[in-house]
Structure formats: structure tokens, C-alpha cells
């Protein structure tokens, strides 16, 4: 097809926005646009309410069914198999408990089916009528058919349905149990993969894993979507914290970042903000593992690093670190250099200069005050050491950063 790249871009963008996008061909035309978990809710599970084999060309179909689920269907030109693109299902608004009960009554759902429907809604994308997604779809239609050379047909499939007859091979309770088992298995598999990636410090796996986790079904305990997502984010923070610990990061570092994200979660104003925050958490914990993993360090070196980084403003030295651990200073020096690739003094200096640069860049503190925060009381010696390390004086360093 001449528009392969554009179609791939559209589908990938939709999927990253948690909106299903499926290309239906002659070989899979019997597949439901609604996933199998949802299809199992019904004896005669709702499927595509139009004949996919006889779609009109140059036409966008916008479909709404009796469960207030929406999808967009269009026929793809220049395909030998008569392929169609189906976008959805998605919602155009959040449904609270009362809405779901009313929809369930209209569709004669059993109590067990209502629980599954509620879970399905909780994991479906909500797209407002003014969303840029629709502009993107219209633009794609203009590209494959020509500007203004297509029409839009709305199909409202809100028909009444017959009461559900429970004459299935499995009872509703057994069916509910089987589906819950499958959902739990999928969620645990995604969680384990995500935790393994964090513990090994692999941020490149981030977006796919975060998307998988965000799309995993959790029990919807409250009608408030924001509170539910906050609860999921708390779970995420706990999982990532334990993953970082498994990756060799000391609790001293983990507790600081975990507490920070806990506060951010509670103060998040919207579900969209929380979804972004979950991505930030993933990358932050991965970076924590990359920078502070003690997995391959011996106990004396691990304790030395912690003592240095715990309070760089103190009068810390090789002698004080060795004395705190009741070990020989020469032995510690040799061990530290072998495992860290630099000596204790060099490491202390590096941390002090890094903190000095950060304070010069982000505060208006006097140079003398910054020197004290870095454990150096002699401001002249501090300036000399800083210039040797960065090539400029502290004041010139501050001026250059302000001009950036």
C-alpha cells in the first residue's frame, strides 16, 4: 500500500494512547473488535454491528453500541483482501457506578457480568469529542482518499436485547472465575517483567512496560477514577521500590525517592498527570539502580560509599571511614579503588564538587556558604579546588550557567 507508513504511524499512536487499533482482513474477519474478556460477558456477544465485507469506500463509520462503547471503522483502499481499520472500542465519558448499573439493566446483565463490565470500562480509553485523535483520523482519511472526498456515517446500535439465558457450558460464576484468573496472570506477568527491568536498570524497556502496566485490570474499588488511579500508582511505587532494592540500591536512597513520589501521587490533579508520573517513576528508579547499585560491591566499600554520600558536608576522610568500620585504612583504600575504579579521596572530591556545582547553578548562596555545605571550611582552598576540577572559578561557573 502507498500509505503503509502513515497507517503504521496512526496505529502506533493510537495504541500508545491506549486505544485499540486493529486491521481486519479476510483471514481474521470473524474476530471481534471487542477483546475476548469482554466478549465472554455475553451469550451472543456483541460484535461489529455492520457487515465488514460490504463497507462503502470513502466512508468513515462511527459506531456506538448498547453498552455506550464506540468504535470507528473504515475500509482501506488498494488492498487485495478488502482490509478494514477498526479503532476502538473506547468511551466518550467516564461511567460511575450508577451509570454502569443502568447500562447493565438495559442489557439484562447478571451481577457477575456487571463486575466484568465495570472492570472493562475501567481499562478502556476515554476520548472526548474534541480530542486531537479525531483530527488525526480525519487527516489520515484525507490522505488515503483525498481531501473532502469522504463521508461520515453514524450508526447508533442502542437496540433492546433479550434477557440473558444462562444455558452456557460454564455457569456465570465459573466463567467469572476463569476470566479473573486470566486477567491476574496477565497482570502478574507484566508486573514481573517490569520489576526485572528496573532491578537491572534498563530504562529502554520503559514505555512498553508502563503501557502494559497502566492497561492491566485492577479491581475498581471506587467510583472516582482519580482515586482509583492514585491507588494503582501507589502499587506501582511499591513495586518499583522493591525492584530497586533487588537491584542492589540501599534503602537510604530508595526511601528518599519513594517518599517524594508518594507525595506527588497524592497531589496529582488528574488521571493524565498520574499516567505521566508513572513513567517518571519508572525512569527515576531505573536511574537509581544505574547510579547507586551496590550489588557487586563488598560490604566495606558499600558502607564507605554510604558514609560519604550520607553527609558530604562533614569532615569525612579515608581515616574516619576506616575507623567507623574498624578496619585498616590501607586495606580499605586498596579495596575501594579496585571496586570503584578510583580512590576514596578522589571519590569524596568528586561528590563535593558535584554538590558545589549544583548549588552554584540552582541557588543564590554565597560561595563561602556553598563551600561549607561541601565540607570545606577554607573558601580559598575550595575555590582553588573547584577551578582545578572545572577549569573556572565558582563565580564564573555561576555566571556561565545563568547565561545558558
What pLDDT is attached to residue 163? Answer: 38
pLDDT (tens, 9 = 90+) of the chain, 404 residues, equals 678 888 889 988 888 777 888 888 765 554 444 444 445 444 344 445 566 777 888 888 888 888 888 889 888 887 666 788 888 888 888 888 888 888 888 888 777 778 778 777 877 788 887 888 888 898 888 888 876 778 888 887 654 434 333 333 444 555 555 656 666 676 677 777 777 778 877 766 655 556 555 555 555 555 577 888 888 889 889 988 998 888 888 888 888 899 999 999 999 888 878 888 888 888 888 888 887 777 778 889 988 988 888 888 888 899 999 999 999 999 999 999 998 888 999 999 999 999 999 999 989 899 999 999 999 989 999 999 999 999 999 999 988 876 65
Cα–Cα nearest to 376, from 362, 360, 396, 356: 356
> 299-402 is classed in which CATH architecture?
Orthogonal Bundle (1.10)
Q: Whole-prediction pTM value?
A: 0.47
3-class SS at 370? helix
Task: Return the number of other C-beta atoms located less than 10 Å from residue 166's C-beta.
Answer: 12
What pLDDT is attached to residue 206? Answer: 55
What residue ranges do the domains of the chain occupy? 4-157, 172-292, 299-402
Cα–Cα nearest to 217, from 126, 121, 127: 121
C-alpha cell at 40: 465472554
Amino acid at each position: 500500500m502507498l500509505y503503509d507508513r502513515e497507517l503504521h504511524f496512526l496505529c502506533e499512536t493510537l495504541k500508545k494512547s491506549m486505544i485499540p487499533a486493529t486491521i481486519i482482513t479476510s483471514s481474521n474477519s470473524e474476530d471481534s473488535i471487542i477483546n475476548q474478556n469482554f466478549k465472554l460477558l455475553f451469550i451472543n456477544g456483541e460484535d461489529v454491528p455492520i457487515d465488514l465485507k460490504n463497507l462503502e469506500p470513502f466512508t468513515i463509520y462511527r459506531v456506538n453500541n448498547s453498552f455506550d462503547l464506540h468504535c470507528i471503522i473504515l475500509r482501506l483502499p488498494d488492498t487485495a483482501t478488502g482490509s478494514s481499520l477498526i479503532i476502538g472500542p473506547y468511551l466518550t465519558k467516564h461511567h460511575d457506578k450508577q451509570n454502569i448499573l443502568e447500562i447493565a439493566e438495559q442489557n439484562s446483565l447478571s451481577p457477575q457480568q456487571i463486575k466484568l463490565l465495570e472492570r472493562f470500562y475501567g481499562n478502556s480509553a476515554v476520548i472526548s469529542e474534541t480530542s486531537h485523535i479525531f483530527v488525526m483520523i480525519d487527516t489520515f482519511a484525507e490522505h488515503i482518499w483525498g481531501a473532502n472526498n469522504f463521508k461520515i456515517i453514524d450508526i447508533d446500535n442502542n437496540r433492546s436485547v433479550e434477557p440473558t439465558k444462562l444455558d452456557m457450558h460454564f455457569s456465570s460464576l465459573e466463567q467469572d472465575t476463569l476470566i479473573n484468573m486470566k486477567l491476574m496472570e496477565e497482570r502478574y506477568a507484566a508486573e514481573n517483567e517490569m520489576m526485572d527491568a528496573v532491578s537491572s536498570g534498563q530504562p529502554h524497556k520503559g514505555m512498553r512496560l508502563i503501557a502494559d502496566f497502566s492497561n492491566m485490570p485492577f479491581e475498581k474499588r471506587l467510583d472516582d477514577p482519580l482515586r482509583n488511579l492514585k491507588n494503582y500508582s501507589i502499587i506501582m511505587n511499591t513495586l518499583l521500590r522493591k525492584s530497586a532494592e533487588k537491584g542492589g540500591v540501599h534503602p537510604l536512597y530508595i526511601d528518599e525517592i519513594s517518599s517524594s513520589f508518594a507525595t506527588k501521587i497524592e497531589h496529582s490533579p488528574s488521571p493524565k498527570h498520574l499516567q505521566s508520573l508513572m513513567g517518571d517513576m519508572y525512569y527515576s528508579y531505573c536511574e537509581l539502580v544505574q547510579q547507586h547499585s551496590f550489588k557487586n560491591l563488598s560490604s566495606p566499600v558499600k558502607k564507605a560509599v554510604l558514609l560519604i554520600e550520607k553527609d558530604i558536608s562533614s569532615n569525612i576522610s579515608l581515616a574516619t571511614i576506616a575507623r567507623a568500620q574498624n578496619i585498616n585504612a590501607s586495606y580499605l583504600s586498596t579495596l575501594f579503588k579496585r571496586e570503584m575504579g578510583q580512590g576514596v579521596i578522589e571519590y569524596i572530591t568528586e561528590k563535593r564538587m558535584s554538590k558545589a556545582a549544583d548549588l552554584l547553578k540552582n541557588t543564590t548562596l554565597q560561595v563561602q556558604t556553598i563551600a561549607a555545605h561541601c565540607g570545606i571550611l577554607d573558601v580559598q582552598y575550595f575555590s582553588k579546588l573547584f577551578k582545578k576540577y572545572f577549569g573556572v572559578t565558582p563565580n564564573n561557573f555561576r555566571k556561565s550557567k545563568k547565561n545558558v
